Structures are given as C-alpha cells and as structure tokens.
A and B are shown apart, each in its own frame.
Chain A
C-alpha cells in the first residue's frame, strides 16, 4: 500500500534452495534483455569470423544438402514430389528441419558448454537457450531468402505455383518449432549435466529422427508404402510441422486439423516440462556438471 513501508521491511530477494515450478521469471529476463541481444549478436557475428566465405556458409550448407537429397531421393530412389520441382521441395524441408535441429542441438548443450561462465556469474540461465533460438531464427530468415530466390527462379522457368495468403501463417509454424526445440533442448541440457550419455543420444538421434519426419518425402507417401510403420509419422509432431511448412510455402500436401492441434499440444507440454526441469537444474547444476 505504501512504498516506504515496503522498502523498510521487505528484502529485495532471497537466495534459497527452494524453487517454484513454472517460473520463467520473465521480469528478470526482461531486465537482462541487453545481454540477450548481445549474445545473439555475438553468435551471429563470430560464427564465421576468420573464414574466407564468411556468411556465405549460411547458404552453402542447405543448398548442397538439397542438391544431394534431390540426386539420392528423387533421381535415384524416385520419390515423387507431385509437380513441385524436387529441389524446391527438399529445400523447404531442409530449411525448416535445420531450424529445429539447430535449436535442439545448441540448446541441449547449454549447461555443459557454458559451465565456465555459469560457474562465475549469475544471470538468468534461460537467456542462453533463448538467445540460441533467436540466433537460429536469424539464420532461418537468411536461408528463407535463398528459398524464395530459388522459388522465383523456378517460377520464371514455368513452374505453376503461386504463393498465397497461407505463407503468412508460416511464422506460427516457426514459433512452434522454436518452442519445441527449446523445450526439448532444455530437458536434455538439464539431464546432460549429470548424465552425459544423453549428449551422444542427441547427436545420432536427431539424424535418425530426420528420416521419420517427412523431410525428404511427403507424409502421404510413407503411409502408402509402409502402412505398418505409418504410426511413426502419425505420432511424430515434427512430421506435421515439416509437412505443414511445405503446405504453406508450396501449397503441397495436406494439413489436418488434428495434426496441428496435436503438435501444438505436444509443444506446450514439452516446453512446460522443459521449463520445470531447467528451473530445477539451473540452481545447482554447477555442482554436478
């Protein structure tokens, strides 16, 4: 009621071993927003320092992966992409998939990689994974630029496909992927502080995950050809995200309402679990890392 009283009797903050379950402490993160910005800047600026090609590497990786996929999966294995140039089809899948894996891989390393900083200074630990997600968002933005350049190239060469209003929904998809990657990453990074096994699991697990996430084939195709393994795709929220991104960008494939609701639900649950575990871990992970 009156501020003076408040100042006299209340402590500014307390340090205890107790923890609240869901607190993300947004106020504190807001106080440190400059740090968040500087971390993003640092990550974007320093990645390709002292390299000859510099930021070109942002383009090279997805382009060459898309070329390889096109040769292997479309030319050799003969996967049909339904009227869309296979190269464009793969590029769309790879760029969105890359965003998710980069978020997951990099956040899952948070505690281990930053142990030396975390061991000396306190700032809201969540700043680190959040900055990773934002950094990758910028990377995604750059990569989308090449996607649209390639898109325009194919349009000029007679591809019959017109972007419509659906593209505007793409950012929502990106947010879902970012949060899902962040949530999973937070869970894994917290567990890794004690049990290093998980970091090995993540490295090859993510590779395997790509094959059941409809990155280089339409979801429909998997259901058709391997109906007994169809559940792998049906229960994989990532497959819906990738499929949906292609639907929004290329008007190809289908998106079920169930898929979207299911994915969003999983994302929220994973994120909340991640938050709880992360909060529990950040207080004293330095003792076990």
Chain B
C-alpha cells in the first residue's frame, strides 16, 4: 500500500517499496525554549531554520506543531504553515488535537497533507476524519481506544481496524491511513517496546497499511537515548514500519535509517549510503 503526500508539485510516497520516510519532529515548541519564545512572538525564523536543517538531513515531510501555551493555536498554526509554504518545499504534517487549528492549516495548504493525528476514540474519529475527507488529507491513526491503550497486540490491532473502517465510512481509503502503534516508555515498563513491535507485525500482516511511529518516546529516562531509538527504528522497519516522526538531524538516527534502506533493498547500488558517507568524511576533514 502506498500513501501519497504532496506539496504543490513535490510528491512523497510512503510504502514498503519505497525508502523509509522521516517526518521531521523538530518544529514543536515542547521543551524547546528558543523555538517557543520566537513562535509566541510570531517570529518563525527558528522554525524555518529547523525546517531547512531537517530537510538537509533527509526529512521528507515536516511535522508542524504550534502548541504554544496560551496562544491562539488556529491562528499560529495557519501563520506558521504560510511561512513554511513560502520557504521550503516539503509536504507538511499538521500536529494538533484542536480541530479549528487543523481546519485553519488545511484550508490554506496547497497539496495533500498528513494529519497527526486521530485516535481510535469515537470523539476524535468523528472530528478528524471529516476534516481529512474534506481536505483530501492522509491521517495518522494512533491505536488508543475508548478505554486507553490496550495491553495486547491483538486488542491494539482491533483499534487499528476500527480506525481504517471508520475512515472508509467517510470515503477515506486505507492507503490514506497510517497507523501509529504507539511506542510507550520502556524505562517504565520493560515490555513496552516488545508489545509495540509485535503490534506492528500484526497490523502490517492483517491490514497491510503503512505504519509510522513517534520514535523518540521509547527511550525516555534512559541514558544514551540515541542508541535505543536507532535500534528501535531498525527493529520496527523489519516489521513493516515505513515512516517515523523523529529527528533526522541526530546522526545516529540518520545513519541507521540509511543503513536500513540499503538492507531493505531501497538504495540501489547503495548510492545514497555511499554519498552520505562521503559527505560525512568531507565534513570531518574540514573539522
């Protein structure tokens, strides 16, 4: 299955037959003081730097979160979207739980966006799916059900199935649903990583949809988080993960993803791998 995203004439395809897609996570003011302060003041220079840096590091899609405490989120997300559309050429992923903010951004966006996200809860589905249908956007569906995050892979599969079915009710095809199997923190529950990996395999086998992951959560509270995150991405990719919301400017993650593309047959003659290696050598030589 292939999920097509676009911005003007730029297209990005997510699917098992394509290179892994990184959705750059950095345009999110949570725990980022400078970005928060500038965005709150309507200054998008830091956000635009983040956008350019992430694209340079291999992000194909940019997550955009305007959750500045106390701000007018619909206006801020719309303004930020406008600024991004003028400066960079990558499909956007609108990250909000505020339907008015999603609506404001989707209405002015020129292309096929990604919405981050709906859960499997009816109150979310009934708000987010109509927006996706209206603006012909793809949607990330997080496997949280009406009673929270189910404990077993089988129960999580049922939430994923419900999201895909409810989307179909609104005329949204399965290829426009990307399921996030939800990486919980392994530092608080030793089984959290495993359950999510098993869920990925199951959802991929049963529904065949694309899978994404907020891939930085899993390592919270542990030392050397980069190594854990990189290993987790590789394990996920082997189970059908085709995209992740993560930070491509972290070299360890970037390298792991490129290596996975080589090993999954998505890098012909390993050209991108070699090119990236040479570029890193060059940087090292200058430094």
Q: Say if A and B assemble together.
A: no
